[in-house]
Structure 1
Amino acid sequence: MSTRSVKLGVIAITLLSMAMPFTAKAQDKVEASVGANLVSGYIWRGQDLGGVSIQPSASVSFRGFSLEAWGSVGFESKDDKEFDLTLGYSTGGFSVSVTDYWFNSGPGYFQYGARNTAHVFEGQIGYDFGPLAVNWYTNFAGADGLDKEGDRAYSSYLSLAAPFKLGGLDWTAEIGATPWATDFYGANGFAVCDVSLGVSKDIKITDSFSLPLFAKATWNPRSEGAYFVVGLSF
């Protein structure tokens, strides 16, 4: 059996095993939100993608379906600009989505060629059990990474996140790993690339207004990197 067949088989088994029956009441009206985060550094899945950044977002949702736009602009000119669109569906603890990531460091936005694009298309499926949230992500098209044989890696990422309360604050412990080789994550095989601990609290400004403050420490055992980021949500 080829390496590609094994990868596709693992993806299929994961999707089927997580797609269990469920029921939930979806909202009956359109809901929308807009906001932005100001962060001291842009760390994504154990990778350093930039320094101080402003990260705006806007979303609209209806009956479990959602469409979200998210971006990141670094204060330093060398930092890439990012624009992502995510179409998703969730009900109960179950969620599934497709994200189009785009970075301005490659071909223009409307370039979608197989070998001439800066878009990366990723599928996600997950379930939030409450004490533990499990999510699987796989790149299925666009500027994906390559495996050891130089073929499309179908770069994948598995995340386990556990929220808890301590000292009156909300915390989240998370671990993320790549299941197989891909230069998209700089991994030569299975590798843990994100071990993190995050905490958040609300800073009260007035009786009716507060600013969410968050901080996150991240260690990447694969690259031997360590990062500490703080941010504000508006």
Structure 2
Amino acid sequence: MKKRMVIFAAIAAATVFSPISAHAGEPIKAEVGTDIVSSYLWRGSRLDGPAFQPTVGLEWNGLSLSAWGSTGFSDACEVDLTLAYSIGGFTVGITDYWAASTGARFFDFSAETLHVAEVNLGYDFGPVALNWYTNCLGAVGCTPEGAKAYASYFEVSAPFSLGGIDWSAAVGATPWANDYYGAEGFAVICASLTATKEIALGSDFSIPVFASLMANPRSEQLFFSVGVSF
């Protein structure tokens, strides 16, 4: 892969989106936090065991830039950089995923790069949200014939409240054959249910505790993870 990875895509996207955010007086919002999880679950797969997953981000007039990571007790780590723009319920973004063993070079953009760039389009209708993701650079996946598959994933999610707890149900699928998600055609690869509850630790302090049950109908696997957010 040539050196046209997400850094360049981010610059181009920022150039496009910045004029949309015309209110110069809007303050920049920042956030920092971390999750601690018993298992790192992602799109119907268990990627790692217990892990620390920090995040830091900036947002201004719907334009956001964030970094998210995952580090467990294995010889592996992940750093994801996301540039996105949201207006109303609509979101468009690009994420650079980088997952590697300790000692790997982050700035390796050769044909053997460990970076994967993914574009995302989504709309939140309120009762349900729809999101579509497509790998565009790096490991885009291959078809059974060996052609580039541009592996994609789409998800339908719905939040709701029940029994004093916040819930979210989601179903995700890959639409065509690709070896990135290990699918021979259209396949539902993720069905999840997540419950979140604020646990009070004092009169003015609480932490969110969440539990996720995730199934992969294609591989017939079931996973369960719990975590806390700070």
Where on the TM-score scale, by shorter chain, does this alignment land: which range? 0.7 to 0.9
Instruction: Output the CA distance in 1 between the equivalents of 2:70 and 2:104.
Output: 18
Q: How many residues align?
A: 207
Deviation track 1:69-102 (CA, whole Å, cap 9, x = no partner) reads: 000001233xx21000000000111101000000
Instruction: Output the CA distance in 1 between the equivalents of 2:62 and 2:112.
Output: 34
1:204 shift after superposition: 0.4
**Normalising by the residue count of structure 1, what TM-score does the alignment of the two structures yield?**
0.85
Match of 2:60 in 1: 62
Match of 2:116 in 1: 120
Match of 2:158 in 1: 162
Instruction: Output the CA distance in 1 between the equivalents of 2:132 and 2:24.
Output: 23
Match of 2:187 in 1: 191
Instruction: Output the CA distance in 1 between the equivalents of 2:173 and 2:221.
Output: 15
Deviation track 1:98-134 (CA, whole Å, cap 9, x = no partner) reads: 0000011496211112x21000000000000000000
User: Structure 1 stretches (4+) deviating beyond 3 angstroms?
Assistant: none
Check conservation: 1:198, 1:214, Cα contact below 8 A. Answer: yes
Q: Which runs of 5+ in 1 are unaligned?
A: 1-24
One-letter identity of the residue aligned with 2:193: L
Match of 1:45 in 2: 43
Check conservation: 1:27, 1:63, Cα contact below 8 A. Answer: no
Q: Which runs of 5+ in 2 are unaligned?
A: 1-22
Instruction: Output the CA distance in 2 between the equivalents of 1:48 and 1:147.
Output: 23
Deviation track 1:155-200 (CA, whole Å, cap 9, x = no partner) reads: 0000000111100110011000000011111111100000111100
**Normalising by the residue count of structure 2, what TM-score does the alignment of the two structures yield?**
0.87
Choose from 94, 101, 122 the match for 1:98.
94
Q: Percent identity?
A: 52
Check conservation: 1:42, 1:48, Cα contact below 8 A. Answer: yes
CA RMSD of aligned residues (A): 1.6
Alignment of 1:1-234 (within 5 A): 28-77=26-75, 80-105=76-101, 108-113=105-110, 115-234=111-230
Instruction: Output the CA distance in 2 between the equivalents of 1:118 and 1:43.
Output: 20
